Amino acid sequence: MVNFTVDEIRRMMDYRHNIRCLSVIAHVDHGKSTLTDSLIGHAGIIAQAKAGDTRFMDTRKDEQERTITIKSTGVSLYFEMDKKYLEKGSLKTYEDFTKDGAKYPDLKAPDNSPYLINLIDSPGHVDFSSEVTAALRVTDGALVVVDCVEGVCVQTETVLRQAIGERIKPILFVNKLDRIFLELHMDGESAYQSFRRAVESVNVIIETYKDDGFVDCQVHPPDGTVGFGSGLHGWGFNMNKFAEMYAAKFGVAHEKMMQKLWGDNYFNPKTKKWTTRDNGKLKRAFVMFIFDPIAKLCEAIMEDKPEIFNKMLEKLQVKIPKDAQELKGKPLLKRIMQTWLPAAESLLQMIVNHLPSPVESQPYRCEQLYPGPQDDVSATAIRQLRPQGSPHDVHFQNGSYIREGPLLRLWPCVLRNHCHWPGGPHPWSRLRPGRQERSVREESPAYCPHDGSLRRTDARRPLW
Ligand SMILES: Nc1nc2c(ncn2[C@@H]2O[C@H](COP(=O)(O)OP(=O)(O)OP(=O)(O)O)[C@@H](O)[C@H]2O)c(=O)[nH]1
Ligand SMILES: [Mg+2]
C-alpha cells in the first residue's frame, strides 16, 4: 500500500532543504529501472517482493515488451529518515528543520526527518540520449549505475560527462553483485579489484569534465557516496551499514571504521592488529568483513544448508520474512538479502546525505540554467530559489528542448506560465496553463530586466 499521500508530497514542496531531485543514469542495461524498483517498493507503490521484476518506471507497453527504457519517467516519493542516519549537512538541516518543524505534522516518529525525492529514470540507449539531457536539466543530482561485471562503458562516460557539464553531483551504485556470487563465483580480491576499477574510472571522468565553478564531487566508498548491490534482488549496502556493525565490535569510531573497510587495510586475526601492508597472507578488510560474509550466506542458502544460514541470520538478527518461510534457492536468497541489506535504505542514505537540495545547488547551477547576466533579477531569483520575483518562468512538462546557440527551442509540450511582468501583460500571456502548445521558439534570455524589453520581437513562431 502506498505509504504517503498527495498532500504530504505537496506539503514537502515548501521544505526546500528536504527536497532531492535526481536522475538515474547509466549505460544501456546496467539496471537503472530495476534498481529504481527498490525505492518504489520502499515507498509502498509496489510490493517489496516484486521489486526488481516489475520495472515500474518502464510505464509504456513497448518499454515493458522490449525490456528497454525509451522515455525518461519521473516519480515523486515521500520518505522519512531517522535522524541517526543523517550526516553533517543533512543533520544541520534537520536541526534547523525541527526548530520550526513543529509546523510539519504527522511524522511517523519524532526523530524522523521527511524528504521529498523527485526521481527520473532515464534511458541508457544512445538513440534516446536527448531524454537524458532533458532529465539532467531539471535535477541536481545523479545516481550513476555501473554493472560490476561490465564496468564503466561508453554510454556511462557520455551521460556522466553530460551530468558533470550541467554541474549535477553524482553518487555511484555498483550493480549486479548477485552475478559475482551466483554466476561467476569470483574470489574476494578479484571482485574488489573490479569494484575499485569502476570507482576509479568514474572519478577519472568526473575530474576530466569538472569545471572550477563546481563543488568537489568525487565518489569514494569510505565517504558513503558509493553503494554496492543487486537491483534485481533488491539488496544493497554502503560502508555505513557495515561500519555500524563492526565499529562497536572493534571499539573503533564509526568514521574510522568506514575508512578501514575500503582500500589497503588488512586485519590480522592472530595479532588482532590492523595493517596497511599486504604480506600476501592477509585478506583486505573489504573482503574479510563484507565480501566473505555475503558470499558465505549466499552459498549456504543456494546449497540449502539451513543449519549454516540460520546461525548466521541469528547473529545478524535477521528474521526470515513470513512470506519466505517455504521458499528455497534464489527466491529465498532474494527475500533474506532484501531483509538484511535493503537496497532502498542505503540508496536513501546516499541520496539524502550526499546529493544537494535545490537550495544548495541553484547558486552554482544558475550559470548553467540561465545564460543571461548573472547579476540580473532572473539570475538572483534562480539563485535564491524565489518562487516569486522572477520576470517570467516557464515550466515545461514532458517536452524536450534543443539549444541552438543563444536560442532555446521548446518542442511541443505542455507549458505552464507564471508571469510577473512589470507594467503590463507578459508577451507570453497567450500561453495558457496546461494548454498544449504546438510550437514555441524563444530567444534566451527573452526578457531584458534593464529596459524591460524583449530582445527579439518574434518570441514565438511556428516551427513548421
Ligand atoms: N543479474 C542481475 N541482472 C540485473 C540486475 N539489474 C538488472 N538486471 C537485468 O538487466 C537487464 C536490464 O535491466 P534494466 O533495469 O531494464 O536496465 P536499464 O539500465 O534500465 O536499461 P535501459 O533503461 O534500457 O538502458 C534486465 O534483464 C534485468 O533483469 C541485477 O542486479 N542483477
Ligand atoms: Mg531502464
Q: Strands (DSSP E) along 38-148, which ranges?
A: 73-82, 112-121, 141-147
Locate 385 and state its grid cell.
530559489
CA 163 – CA 447 distance, rounded (Å): 28
* C-beta separation of 415 from 431 below 8 A: yes
Residue 68 CB less than 6 A away from ligand 1: yes
H or E element in which residue 401 lies:
strand 401-404
Query: Which pLDDT score is estimated for 61?
Result: 86
pLDDT digits (tens, 9 = 90+) for 399-440: 444 443 333 444 333 333 333 333 433 444 444 444 444 444
Report CA torsion sign: 62, 68, 72, 77.
positive
Q: Give the range with max mean pLDDT: 221-235, 245-259, 274-288.
A: 221-235
Residue 61 alpha carbon to ligand 2 centre in Å: 13
Residue 175 CB less than 6 A away from ligand 1: yes
Query: Which pLDDT score is estimated for 410?
Result: 44
Query: Which pLDDT score is estimated for 71?
Result: 86
Query: Which pLDDT score is estimated for 287?
Result: 94
* 84 has pLDDT over 50: yes
Residues that place a CB less than 5 A from ion ligand 2: 32-33, 69
Query: Which pLDDT score is estimated for 388?
Result: 60
Q: Quick one: average pLDDT of 259-265? A: 93
- Per the prediction, the chain carries an average pLDDT of 81
CA 52 – CA 67 distance, rounded (Å): 12
Residue 6 alpha carbon to ligand 2 centre in Å: 26
Q: Quick one: average pLDDT of 212-220? A: 90
Residue 77 alpha carbon to ligand 2 centre in Å: 18
pLDDT category at 108 given cuts 50, 70, 90 is confident
* C-beta separation of 17 from 97 below 8 A: yes
pLDDT digits (tens, 9 = 90+) for 17-26: 999 999 999 9
> What single-letter DSSP state applies at residue 97?
H
Residue 122 CA: nearest ligand 1 atom is 23
* 69 has pLDDT over 70: yes
More confident residue, 206 or 109: 206
Query: Which pLDDT score is estimated for 356?
Result: 94
Q: Quick one: average pLDDT of 101-122? A: 85
* 284 has pLDDT over 90: yes
Amino acid letter, residue 165: G
Locate 227 and state its grid cell.
553503494
Residue 122 CB less than 6 A away from ligand 1: no
Q: How many CB atoms lie within 10 A of CB 57?
A: 25
Residue 28 CB less than 6 A away from ligand 1: yes
More confident residue, 242 or 323: 242
Residue 450 alpha carbon to ligand 1 centre in Å: 51
* 397 has pLDDT over 60: no
Alpha-carbon distances, residue 219 vs 21, 142, 200, 202, 354 (angstroms): 18, 12, 9, 8, 10
pLDDT category at 73 given cuts 50, 70, 90 is confident
Percentages of the chain per state (helix, strand, coil), in multiples of 5: 45, 20, 35
CA 464 – CA 420 distance, rounded (Å): 30
Triad 297, 299, 303: Cα angle to 5°: 120
Report CA torsion sign: 154, 155, 156, 161.
positive
